[in-house]
Each structure stands twice: as structure tokens, then as C-alpha cells.
Structure 1
Amino acid sequence: MKITAVETFIVKGNFAPWIFCALRTDEGLTGYAEFGEGRVWRGMCGLVEDIAPLIIGKDPRAVEAHYIHMVRSTRMVYGGATWQAIAGIELALWDLKAKALGVPVYELVGGPTRTHQKVYWSHLLSYQANYHEQLGCEPVRSYDDIRTLVRAAMDAGYDTFKTNILLPGEPFRGLGQGRSGPHDQTLTREILNAAIKQIEVMREEAGPEAQICLDVNENFKVDGQIRLAQALEPYELMWLEMDNLDADSCRMLKDSTRTPICTGEQRLGPFNYADLLSSRAMDACKLDLQWQGFIPARRVANMAELYDINIAPHNFNSHLSTFQTMHLCASVTNIKISESDPTAVPWRDEVVTAVPVVEHGMIEIPTGPGWGAELDEKAAKKYAYEG
């Protein structure tokens, strides 16, 4: 079997495009993957096109050899977007190899380690506040709306949720100062009070047994995160999550509070997690399979196991991303919980050939060959993102 072509598809997503990679072979098999950060989709696709000659004409089944060849051949543009593009090809290689053997991907690496994976409802309130027009839902206008959304998630079988800070108004709006400014990353009294009120309302509605996570992204420097984590201690969060701190700052935060700390999603590759893990600067390790690939993600998970730290996979794209993430969960033994996004654009079910089976906040590990689902190329073209 030889690879004959590499293609990418850009599909309209929740707030940014979803990016897919397809590897064609001379035997008629196609391997699919979802990968990368959709907000830089032009760069992602260009990098895949530049890297593709390294595998054209090769047998796709030597996945490890192809992966290290791609990484070492691109050392002059080391890490970052380059590695996300490599992930697209590497993930599609795994899909091809598993399909050729007629087995799920996790069986190639000793799985399955489980039949189901517990997931949390992510971006609860956040998507409704920030993207209600794209999603065709009502905006968040009051704390009663927050109570209604929490109750709906619980009625759908979820007992664990993740949200982001919303600022009250007509309607409520998400906090984005870490990206769009002001860039001082200051936790003001107004923001702190809004965060406390929001979590208080969620806790009242969800009850004492529910698990609540708060993701503050890169909105605050460590002093603000310490103040916030301490202020939220009475509400017993599952974790406070952030993206922007170095290992020493994370350790300082962790030592200052009873609120558990989760971080790591924006790091790529095992080496870039070493300082967080060796300093035990987090209670849960966040990683994104679609941003780094199956090989490095499993290596990070195995490194985390050495430090008695469980991983919490990051997953906020289409269903193919969820299928891929479930194979990661089924190939390691240190998963705290995995992310899922029940709120999505209405065509999400159309762009894949199968959808995850979710019941009572548990996703069934797929059993079909490859990832267990494929990109529906006809639907991908129907909902193509054109910029």
C-alpha cells in the first residue's frame, strides 16, 4: 500500500473552522483525521501541503517512522503550528493502518483499557453567551437563564460541567481580556464578583454532588488566579483551569489554594510538559490530541502517570475529534475525565459517518476499524468554510 495524495477539508464549525486531513492510497483506502487550530486554517493547510511530500509514495503503516521523519525534517520550524500540521498527517496514518488490519486504533497500542469514558459538558453558558447566533439558541440574559441551562445539562445526564467567566449585562458576555484586551490580565473586583456569583448560582442549581470546572484561559496573571482560586474554595470546584502560566507560577498557584489546578492544553509534545510534571504544578494535565498527534499525546499521558497525575483530554471540535480522543482514552490508564461539547452547530452530525454514543455523561468507546468514524466528504464540501 502506498500513499498517493494528501488533502485537507475546511468545514464551518462552532466559532472557528474544523480542519480535516485525508490520506489517499493506491489500494482505495483513505485515512482521515481532524487536527489543528481552526483560527489559523490557511496556515494549517499550507503546512500540510509542504510536509506531504515526505510521505507521498510511502507505505502508511510505518507510522512511528513517518512521524519522527516529519518532526526531524521540520526542525527549522520546530513545534507550534508545524507540529499541529504533522498531527493531521500522523492521525490519518493511524486510521489507515488500523483500517488495513480491520481493528480500532487503540488495539494497535495495547487497548482497550476501558469500554466507556466519563465526559463533562464543556463551554456550558459560554457558547450560549458568545455564539448564540451561530448556534441558533437564546443568549444568556439573567441568572435565571444560567439556572435553566445548568438544569438542562443535568437533565441530559451530565453531572460535570465546565464554564468560563461571564460578565453580567444585556445580554451576558464572555470575558476575553486575555486575548482581545486589555492585556494587563488584571482580576478586577468587578470580574471577581461576577465569577463568584456565577459559580454560586451554578452550585445552587446543580447541588453539592455535581462537579464544576472553571476555565479562565489566559485572562489573569498568577496573582489574580490566586485570588480567584481562594475566593472560589467554598464552592469546591473540580478544577480551576488556565493556559498561560509557567511551571513555577503554576506551582505557586497550586500551593496557595485548596482549589485543584488543571493546565497544559497549549503545550505540545512530551518535552514541553516536563517542567509542569516534574514540579507537580498541576492536579490534572490538560492535553489536546488534535493539536499534537497520537504518538506524542500518549507519551505525555505516560509521563504524567510517572508523577501520579491523570490527564484530562481537551476536545472541542467535531465528532471525529471526539472519536480520536476516545481512542487515546482507551489506550492509557490515567484519565481523570474527558471534554465534550454537546452544544454545537446543527450540521455537526452530518459531517461524519457516525456519531458518539453518549448516555449519562459516558461515551461508548468506538469498536469499528480505524477511528470508528470517517469524514463525510460530500457533507464537508456542503458546509465548507470559505473565510
Structure 2
Amino acid sequence: MSTRPLLKVTGVETLVCDAGWRNYFFLKLSTDDPAVTGWSEYDEGFGSPGVGAVIEQLARRLVGYDVFQHERFFTEASCLTRPAPGSVIGQALGALENAMLDAKAKALGVPCYELLGGKLRGTVPVYWSHCPTWRINHPTHYGKRVTDLAGVTRAAAEATERGFKALKTNLFLHDEGDAYAWRPGFAVPFEPGLNVTPRLLRNIRAHLEALREGAGPDTEILIDLNFNAKPEGMLRILREIADLPLFWVEIDSTQPQALAHVRQHSAHPIASCETVFGVRGFLPYLQHQAIDVGIVDTVWNGVWQSMKIAAACDAYDVNVAPHNFYGDLCTLMNLHFAAAVPNLRVMEVDVDRLPWEHELYTHGPEIRNGELIVPDRPGWGTDPIEAAIRARPPKGSGGLLQYKRS
């Protein structure tokens, strides 16, 4: 019979700080051991307003729970929210689960990857995400403003020079004198038909060719189409870029059968599912053979639940890639998942960061030769610094809800 003492949750607090064009969101989980505090990072800016309010409601149920019983809490809370699964409720559950994992690992004095089955790899291959997206969309915050195709080429060359083996980009128009994002799936511009035009096709191809010129022949290029076209338009885009060497084409779709049709006609691997929750959500995409790579958002799903999603993907011979475009704590959370999951393809990481971002954490991610180094410190391997967070009051809103061309 176990003699392990209970480690009870005594409180849950959310903290928010300014992060340039968006906010960063943190969850602090206190226990009855003053030396053990669990942390996680979550997000409300990616179309998910209200996650913090749901956390507040669910936390009332969590107080008094044994930190080690994260599966019990997740299951109980899922039952209590069964009429409205996923979305902001799923993300709140994921944030709470991730903080419990951090506290549990710290109580045991081990890295979180030990809770996931152990470390399979000490370094994790990454791709430079949003290259040069952030420099086009948010130059005020990230610098190195990109305004034309020559700037796109320079950004890709920098990625290769810094040792990255892959980079991912988004959709842009370059033929009006200044580069700007094409994101009708997120109402930028507002074009709910999501129709693809010859002009857009020309710009996508020109952008990819500029990236290839700068990156050279050995750096992989990924493109993210998001929700910015319907299947008919996706097929037009895929035909336009069929002859270009690409690592994958990333597509968001709520219709597994439609995505399977697109994949059947694609010359490139299709990655998807970054907005999908749980094994039940992934299963139709696997059953219909709609994806070559399953993108798992461990921040939304919770890392423990994400291991189940990865196992389901593995049963269908599909590899996974963590969705990671948040703060440094999220990068470390995803890194432990990537270190432990057998069927890993690659990990996403944003390289362009705010100049003061390192002040928010005790330890930042370490990238060497295009790979993330897996830390062996207890828990996630970093803690947010409360004083630094509180010193940067959040915006009223951020992310998609406050997006503007800058």
C-alpha cells in the first residue's frame, strides 16, 4: 500500500501580461507544499476568448484535489462539462492538467517527460515558424521589417545561416508596394467566400520562390494555408505549387472527408488538426486518411491527453507535430511532449521573439543547430517570473481580436 502523502491543490490563479501584439496567459497552481507550485501557459488570443473564466469555474472543483490525480480530475471535469466539450472548456481543462503535471513532476524531482514514459530523444528537430510572417505583420515588435520579396529572401537566408533545417511561412500579397497577410479565414480581409484568385496564386508562388532562393536547396520549406480557402480553392493552390519542393502543406478543415479528397490530389504531404480536440476529434481524420502529419496542440488538449492523441495517430502510421506559437513556457511544455512521443515528425518554434521576452521566465528554450535541447530540470524546466509578468499589464484584447496591419 502506498505511503505517499497527498499533495493537495490549495489555489489556482491566472496571470496575464502584455506580449506585443497579443497577451500571454499563465496559470499558477498552488499546493499545500510551499516548495511545489505548478505552472502552465494557455492562450485566449487565437480565437478563444474566455478560457480564463472557465478556468476560474473549474478551479473551484480542483481545490482540495491531489495533484497526482490529474487523470481523475480531467475525467470528472469532462463529465461535468459533457454538454459543451472542446473549445474554451477543453482549453481550460488542458491548462489545468498541464499545471498539475508540472507540480507532480516537481514533487517527484523529475522532468515532466519522465511522467510521459521517459525521454526518447535529447534534442528535438524544429522548424522556424512564421518566417518571415512576424516581420511582415508585426515589425514594430520584432524588427527586421520585411516589405517585399527581397526581404523574404533575406529572411530565408538568415534561417539557413543560423542552422535551421526548415522554415514555415503563411500567405501574403506583394504586388501593391508593401507585403501584407492574406487571412480571409480570420476576417483579414473580410471575404467569407474564401475564394482563390489568379492574383493570389501568383503571389503564393512568388513568395515560395523567394524563400527557396534565400534558403538554398537543403532547407525545407513548409506553408500554412490555415482556414483561408475551401477545398476547391485548396486544390487550385496545390496545383499551382505542385512542382515546388515542400516539406508539407498545412491546411485547417472541419471536414475530414473533404480534407481527404484534397490530400488525394496533393503532390505534397498534408498536415492538419491543430484546432482539433481529443482522440475522438482526431479519429475521423485518421479513419478517412485525411492527414500525413497530425498537428497536436498540447496547450489546448493538455500534454497527458496529447500523448493519447499521438498514440491514436501512431496506430494509423501517422506522425505528429506539436502546434507551438505561444510563449516560452509553451515551448518547454511542447518540448517534453516531443521528447517522449515515439512518432514525432518535427516541432514548431517561433524564433523571432520580443527583445524583453526572456525576462518573463527563469529559463528559456535552448536552440542549437536547428534543434531544441531537452532540459533535465524538474517539471517543465522553467517557471514564469511573477514580478516581470505583473510589471507588464495586459492589453484589453490581443491576437486575432485586435489584429491590424502594422
What TM-score, normalized to structure 1? 0.97
Letter in 2 for 1:273: F
Give 2:138's aligned residue: 131
Which is further off, 269-278 or 228-237? 228-237
Which is further off, 238-247 or 97-106? 238-247
SS at 1:72's partner residue? helix
Q: How does 1:211-230 map to 2 (within 5 A)?
A: 211-230=220-239
Q: 2:350 aligns with which of 332, 341, 345?
A: 341
Taking the aligned partners of 1:160 and 1:80, their CA distance within structure 2 comes to: 30
Matched, 1:98 2:105: yes
Change in 2 beyond 3 A, CA 1:78/1:380? same
SS at 1:75's partner residue? coil
Give 2:126's aligned residue: 119
Q: How does 1:204-243 map to 2 (within 5 A)?
A: 204-243=213-252
Give 1:367's aligned residue: 376
Letter in 2 for 1:156: R
Q: Offset at 1:134?
A: 2.5
SS at 2:383's partner residue? coil
Q: 2:89 aligns with which of 64, 82, 85?
A: 82
Q: Offset at 1:242?
A: 1.4
Change in 2 beyond 3 A, CA 1:70/1:45? same
Q: 1:379 aligns with which of 380, 388, 394?
A: 388
Taking the aligned partners of 2:305 and 2:31, their CA distance within structure 1 comes to: 25
Q: Offset at 1:14?
A: 4.8
Superposed CA RMSD: 1.3
Taking the aligned partners of 2:227 and 2:48, their CA distance within structure 1 comes to: 22
Residues 192-219 of structure 1 deviation map (CA, whole Å, 9 limit, x = unaligned) = 0000111111112222221100101111
Which is further off, 92-101 or 50-59? 50-59
Q: How does 1:26-175 map to 2 (within 5 A)?
A: 26-28=32-34, 29-39=36-46, 43-135=50-142, 137-168=143-174, 169-175=176-182
SS at 1:17's partner residue? strand
8 Å CA contact retained: 2:126, 2:166: yes
* Structure 2 unpaired stretches of 5+: 1-6, 397-406
8 Å CA contact retained: 1:139, 1:171: no
SS at 1:22's partner residue? strand
Change in 2 beyond 3 A, CA 1:226/1:245? farther
Give 1:356's aligned residue: 365
Taking the aligned partners of 2:392 and 2:163, their CA distance within structure 1 comes to: 30
Q: How does 1:315-330 map to 2 (within 5 A)?
A: 315-330=324-339
8 Å CA contact retained: 2:48, 2:88: no
Residues 142-168 of structure 1 deviation map (CA, whole Å, 9 limit, x = unaligned) = 211111111111111112000001101
SS at 1:77's partner residue? coil
Residues 93-117 of structure 1 deviation map (CA, whole Å, 9 limit, x = unaligned) = 0000000000011112311111010
Q: How does 1:274-289 map to 2 (within 5 A)?
A: 274-289=283-298
Letter in 2 for 1:114: R
Taking the aligned partners of 1:361 and 1:214, their CA distance within structure 2 comes to: 18
SS at 1:60's partner residue? coil
8 Å CA contact retained: 2:293, 2:319: yes
Give 2:279's aligned residue: 270
Change in 2 beyond 3 A, CA 1:220/1:315? same
Q: Offset at 1:40?
A: 5.9
Q: Offset at 1:42?
A: 5.5
8 Å CA contact retained: 2:274, 2:297: yes
Matched, 1:291 2:300: yes
Which is further off, 29-38 or 195-204? 29-38
8 Å CA contact retained: 2:39, 2:99: yes
8 Å CA contact retained: 1:17, 1:41: no
Aligned length: 386
Taking the aligned partners of 1:32 and 1:154, their CA distance within structure 2 comes to: 34
* Structure 1 unpaired stretches of 5+: none
Taking the aligned partners of 1:139 and 1:218, their CA distance within structure 2 comes to: 26
Residues 219-256 of structure 1 deviation map (CA, whole Å, 9 limit, x = unaligned) = 10111111111221211111111112411111111111
Q: Offset at 1:171?
A: 2.1
Residues 11-33 of structure 1 deviation map (CA, whole Å, 9 limit, x = unaligned) = 22253212110001121121000
Taking the aligned partners of 2:393 and 2:380, their CA distance within structure 1 comes to: 22
8 Å CA contact retained: 2:23, 2:395: no
Residues 112-153 of structure 1 deviation map (CA, whole Å, 9 limit, x = unaligned) = 111010000000011111111132x14322211111111111
8 Å CA contact retained: 1:10, 1:41: no
Taking the aligned partners of 2:130 and 2:51, their CA distance within structure 1 comes to: 25
Q: Offset at 1:374?
A: 0.8
Matched, 1:182 2:191: yes
Taking the aligned partners of 2:216 and 2:49, their CA distance within structure 1 comes to: 44
Matched, 1:2 2:8: yes
